[in-house]
Amino acid sequence: MAGRPALWLGPLLLLSLWVSLAPASLLRRLGEHIQRVQESSGLSLTSGPGAGALPKLGWLEQPLDPFNTSDRRSFLQRYWVNDWHWASPRGPVFLHLGGEGSLGSGSVMRGHPAALAPAWGALVIGLEHRFYGLSVPAGGLDVAQLRFLSSRHALADVASARLSLARLFNVSASSPWICFGGSYAGSLAAWARLKFPHLIFASVASSAPVRAVLDFSEYNEVVSRSLMSTAVGGSPECRAAASAAFAEVERRLRAGREARGALRAELGACSSLGGAEDQAELLGELQALVGGAVQYDAQAGAPLSVRRLCGLLLEGRSNRSRSAPYHGLRRAVQVVMHSLGQRCLSFSRAETVARLKVTDPQVSGVGDRQWLYQTCTEFGFYVTCEDPRCPFSRLPTLPSQLELCERVFGLSTSSVVQAVGQTNSYYGGQTPGATQVLFINGDTDPWHMLSVTQALGPSEAALLIPGASHCMDMAPERPSDSPSLLLGRQSISQQLQIWLRLAKQSSASSGG
């Protein structure tokens, strides 16, 4: 239960490098892969007082149901600690929140907030999200258990961990706690400040989709626009080639069994393409591949950038062949599958449903079942291409995606619609009203459409970085970083300086 002593396991290093072969969202698999690559590049500090250090691993005992004091069940929540730059118990604490996946040790060793810690003598703590990674309660992932998985439960964990960790590390009551997070965890960081302003002094929310939405058609609008952007290596010809490639895939799907068999062989598909559901799944995977090139453009570990994808799609245009863009898309599939270590492109609808129904966390993969549950019960976020201006296939449709909620969890479409509305009502959507929050987004990232990209007031700031992709500001610095990204990171540092100066003044005035 909250308030019990933390379980401390001492300095350990744990980094998982396996890649799930589950046929769930390709975007999630890409995200996991990129996170592992970026974290593995920062497992030790290369200079300064903590050179060669390893992070510490700890566990907190947390209430399974923090909203029911009579429920005595608990679970162990994993956290990582980097205390090498912590100057004193009065120094700030940078609390890095985990999201819909495993949180590795590299999360507190490199990239932000770890890169920002030396300047302010900060203690860096990474808190894994309940039901993900190794922070899965006993009892598995059946629906009765998953009712304890939500952003509200996660925020209760943040508040409980904030109090327990302050006691464990003897942190001064005057020390400011600043939350960091990216993507869904970025939303959590903003909401932690919104709901617990007495515990969280400020928050840095990167690529945070704070507005829940059922039909996220805006995602592909940004993908289409980015494929045309010369700033990231796109062009109008590239967008046209992408559209032609998808049209050719659909033509071959309609052309009969022999053509579908050839398509299966050329794309390296794991199973047949006879069923309409499987064909829609395939088209969805191909959309995710193109979307992933945009969402994670130019990041370390990303198999494809916009520039490279466009190069493949336009490689054979000189011969004016109708199938040239398709062959470019085929090569793009091969690049991604090789990078992810996958033998073939999996898209069986029946297999997807079967895997998502697995309740054993050791078998269910990288959190696909858990995240689907959260989309069904809180966020939606279903990417569609049903607008006539969308350059990709109209499949899969929104109803087919919503059907997963019914088939896997028994949740009706009306309940999902209601849940999305309740989420926006509870958190405020794109006008959350939280003070001392910095929202950071890149205009190449499709998720910026659901975030806060313009300042809502003097203490609710926003930064939109030109040419930056999803959570790019959080990644370890590289020589290839653009001037706009470098300037964006400087702005984050300056905002932190303002907040920490304010915290110091507040502590002095109160006699802390």
At 85, the amino acid letter reads H
Q: Can you tell me the distance from the alpha carbon of 501 to that of 495, in angstroms, rounded to the nearest whole number? A: 10
Which residue in the list 107, 151, 183, 364 is annotated as catalytic? 183
Which residue in the list 160, 206, 470, 473 is annotated as catalytic? 470
Q: Please, what sign has the CA dihedral across residues 100, 104, 106, 107?
A: positive
112 is catalytic: no
Residue (of 472, 379, 412, 392) closest to 151 by Cα position: 379
Q: Which residues, at least 6 apart from 200, have a Cβ–Cβ distance to it below 8 Å?
A: 95, 158, 162, 177, 178, 179, 192, 193
Q: Which residues, at least 6 apart from 237, have a Cβ–Cβ distance to it below 8 Å?
A: 314, 317
Q: Looking at the chain, how many residues does it have?
A: 512
Residue (of 14, 200, 209) closest to 94 by Cα position: 200
Q: Can you tell me the distance from the alpha carbon of 236 to that of 229, in angstroms, rounded to the nearest whole number? A: 8
Residues forming a β-bridge with 93: 123, 177
Q: What region, left, alpha or beta, does residue 55 occupy, with left being phi > 0 and alpha being psi -120 to 50 degrees?
A: beta
Lookup: tokens for 464: 């939109």
Which residue in the list 164, 445, 448, 473 is annotated as catalytic? 445
Q: Output the CA angle 220-328-395, nearest 5 degrees.
A: 35
Lookup: tokens for 332: 């793009």
Full DSSP string of 319-331 = GT-TTHHHHHHHH
510 is catalytic: no
* One-letter-per-residue 3-state SS of 246-292: HHHHHHHHHCCHHHHHHHHHHHCECCCCCCHHHHHHHHHHHHHHHHH
Instruction: Count other Cβ atoms within 10 Å, centred on residue 321.
Output: 11
Quick check: bond before 236 cis, omega within 30? no
Yes or no: say if 183 and 99 are a contact pair by the CB < 8 Å rule. Answer: yes
Q: Is 82 exposed, middle or buried (0-12, 13-18, 19+ CB in 10 A)?
A: buried
Q: Regarding beta strands 74-82 and 56-63, do their DSSP bridges make them parallel or antiparallel, or are they unpaired?
A: antiparallel
Phi, psi angle pair for 8, to nearest 5°: -110, 125
Q: Can you tell me the distance from the alpha carbon of 194 to that of 233, in angstroms, rounded to the nearest whole number? A: 38
Q: Can you tell me the distance from the alpha carbon of 174 to that of 171, in angstroms, rounded to the nearest whole number? A: 8
470 is catalytic: yes
Residues tagged active-site:
183, 445, 470
